[in-house]
Structure 1
Amino acid sequence: MPRRVTPTMLITALLLAALAGCSTDVPVRRAPAAPEPAASATPTPQVPAGHAPENPYPVGVRDLKLNRDGRALPVRIWYPALGEDGPVRPGLLGAHGRFPVVMFSHGLGGRPDDYATLLTRWARAGFVVAAPTFPHTSTGADNNVLDVLNQPADVSYALDQVLALDATADDPLQGRLDADRVAAAGHSAGGVTTIGLFTANRDERLDAGVVFAGTALGVGTAFAGAAAPQLFVHGELDEVVEYAAGKAAYDKVPWPKAMLSLPKGDHGRTMLKDKAALRVVSDTSIEFLRWSLYGDAAAKKRIPTGAKRGGIATFDNHL
C-alpha cells in the first residue's frame, strides 16, 4: 500500500502550498535520527579519487515502466552512449565504461522532460540520469503537494530498479552503471524530495545531492548518515519558495556544501530558459558532480570558476 501522509501544518510556500508534517510509514533505508547539525569540519567525498571523462558523449534516452505498490513511476533515463554525436535518441547502446547515476526529481506540476536541456548536459558529461514521473505531483496529476513526502521512497525504489539494469542481460546499460557513485537532485518539490533523501528518508547509497529552489519543509534538516556533499541553487527573486527558506536548509547541512545564488533568478524559468544562467548552473553542477561522484580533484578546483562566470551568480563555497 502507498505510504499515508499525516500533515501537521499546511502553508502557502511551495508552489501553491508547502507542508510541514510527518509520515505514518517507516521510510526505506532510514538512518538513525541525527540531532540538528552544528558547524563541523568538512570531510572528503565518500568516493575514491578518480578522473571524470574529458570528452562529451552522445546521449541515448530510454524509458522504464515502474510501479511501487500501486504508485505508477515511469522513469526516463538519459545516458552516455556509443555512436556519433547528434540529437538525443532512443535505442543507442551505452558507452563503454561504468558511469555514476544521478536520480532527478521534478517539481510540482512538472515532468522530467521540462529539465531535458540540463539533464542532457549531465549525461554528455558522463552521468546516467534517471528521472521518475511522480503519480500525484506531475503534469496532469491532482497536484497533491502532501504526496511529496512519499516521493523519497519512490526515488529509492526507482534507484533499485535502475541499478538492477547493470546485471540485466542484453540491456543497453548492462555493465555500465556504477552503484558506488550515486547522487540525488531535484527542483522545487523535487528539491524537498532530494533533501528528504538525506534526512528523514536517508538513502545511504547517495554520495551527493543537488537542490534547486528547494526547502526542508516537511522533511526536516536532521541530515543523517555518511557525509554527502550538497550543492544548493536558488534564485534570490524566487516567487514560490523564498530564497531565505532555501538558505535556511542549506545552513543546516553539516557536510561539504556550496550555494549558487542567482540575484536575478526566479523559481526556475531563469535557470532553465536563460542561456547565460543555464550555462552557469550547468557548468557549476557538472563540476560538482565530477568531483563528488568521480572524485576528480581538478573538477573541484574548477567549480568556483564556472559559478562566477559573467557575474550572474554569487557562490558560497564550503566544499
Structure 2
Amino acid sequence: MGRVQRRTLLKALALTGATASLAACSTEPAPAAQPSASAAPATTAPTGTFAIESEKLELSRGSDRPLPTTIWYPTSGGPFALILFSHGLTATPSEYETLLIAWAKAGFAVAAPAYPHTSAGVRDYNALDVLNQPADASYVITELLQRYPGQIDTDRIAAAGHSAGGVTTLGMLSGTRDTRLKAAVVLAGRQLVTTPLQGAATPILFVHGKLDDTVAIADARSVYNAMTWPKAFMTVTRGNHVATSAELPAIAATSTDFWRWSLFADETAKSRLAADATEGGLATFEESLDV
C-alpha cells in the first residue's frame, strides 16, 4: 500500500468536508446477536499452539457489496472467540497473515473480509466508502455465526483493524455500534469524524508507530485520551505506518495476551502485557485497564 494511497482517505474527507457520523453513511444497523446451538463455551483463555486451517467464503451484503472473507480457525476444540479483522486502504487480508495466523494458532477464530471499494485491485475504488465498512463487518460476523453454529463463542466477539481498518473498528464501537463486540485492537488507526464511542465499556488496545507519517500518532492518542473505557497504548518507538518483521513479534504477543485478558478475564495474561510490548526495547506501553 503506497504512501500516497494511504493518505487518500484523509485528503478526501478534508475536501468533501465530511461531517456526518459513521451511522449516517451505513445502509443498515448493526445486528443483534444471533442464536447458535453451541457446546459449552470455554471459561478460560486458550493456551498453547493450535493446528489451524483456513477457508474462503464468498459473502455479499447486496449486489454492490461483495465481501469475500478468509477465516482461519483451530482444527480442534471450540467454540472459539472470534476476531473480525479489517484491512487498510488498497490492502488485502493476505497482507496481514503473519499477525492473523498468530492469533488463530493461539486459539482464536479470525475472519478478514476484503472490502468492496477499498481493497487492492477493485475497479471502483472509493476511499470514502470506509464509512460503510462498519456495517459490512457486522454483516460478516452475523454470517459467520450462522455458517459455523457451535464453533464460535457468541459471548466472545472482538474486532481489530489496521489504518482505515482501524477507522472501521472504531466505527463499530460508535455510530454503528455492534453490541456483540467485547474488545478491540486498533493498529495505526484513528477516528475520521467526531463520533463518541457508544454502548457498554469495551477494552481497546491501540498500537501505533511513533514515526507514522500517514496517520499521526497524535490522532490515535486523541481517541485514547478521551476514552473512559479500559484502554492500553503500545507505542512502537521507531515504527512507521506498517510494522516491520522485527516489530511484529512484540505486537503479536501483546495483542494475543490482550485478547486473553479482555475476552476471558485472564489476569495472568494481563500481567504479561507490559513485558510483551517492551520485549527487545522496540516499544513502550501504558494502560488504564482497571477503570
Q: TM-score, normalised by structure 2?
A: 0.87
Q: 1:208 aligns with which of 173, 178, 183?
A: 183
Give unpaired runs (5+ residues) of structure 1: 1-11, 32-47, 82-94, 168-174
- Indicate the residue corresponding to 2:37 in structure 1: none
Give the Å deviation of 1:243: 1.0
Is residue 191 of structure 1 aligned with residue 166 of structure 2?
yes
Q: 1:304 aligns with which of 271, 274, 285?
A: 274
Question: Per-residue CA shift, 1:188-234, capped at 9, x if unaligned?
Answer: 0000000000011100000001000101013x341111111000000
- Say which structure, 1 or 2, has more relative contact order (CA 8 Å, 6+ apart): 1
Give the Å deviation of 1:49: 9.8
> For 2:287, what is the secondary structure of its paired residue?
strand
> For 2:156, what is the secondary structure of its paired residue?
strand
Q: Which has a greater percent of helix?
A: 2
Give the Å deviation of 1:316: 1.4
Give the Å deviation of 1:69: 1.6
Find the aligned partners of 1:13 and 1:238 in 2 and give their Cα distance. 15
Give the Å deviation of 1:274: 2.2
Is residue 274 of structure 1 aligned with residue 267 of structure 2?
no
Question: Per-residue CA shift, 1:94-147, capped at 9, x if unaligned?
Answer: x12211000000000000000000000000001000000001100012431100
Identify if the C-alpha distance between structure 1 residues 200 and 27 changes in structure 2 by more than 3 Å, giving closer, same or farther.
farther
- CA contact under 8 A between 2:203 and 2:231: conserved in structure 1? yes
The size of the alignment, in residue pairs, is 267
Find the aligned partners of 2:195 and 2:286 in 1 and give their Cα distance. 19
Give unpaired runs (5+ residues) of structure 2: 33-40
- Indicate the residue corresponding to 1:3 in structure 2: none
Note the 1:101-116 alignment, pairs <5 A.
101-116=82-97
Q: TM-score, normalised by structure 1?
A: 0.80
Q: Partner amino acid for 2:70? A: R
> For 2:157, what is the secondary structure of its paired residue?
strand
Question: Per-residue CA shift, 1:282-303, capped at 9, x if unaligned?
Answer: 0000000011112211111111
Give the Å deviation of 1:253: 2.0
> For 1:199, what is the secondary structure of its paired residue?
coil
- Indicate the residue corresponding to 1:5 in structure 2: none
Identity %: 46
- Indicate the residue corresponding to 2:19 in structure 1: 21
Find the aligned partners of 2:56 and 2:143 in 1 and give their Cα distance. 12
Find the aligned partners of 1:291 and 1:59 in 2 and give their Cα distance. 22
Find the aligned partners of 1:221 and 1:191 in 2 and give their Cα distance. 14
Find the aligned partners of 1:300 and 1:27 in 2 and give their Cα distance. 36
Q: Which moved more, 1:13-22 or 1:247-256?
A: 13-22
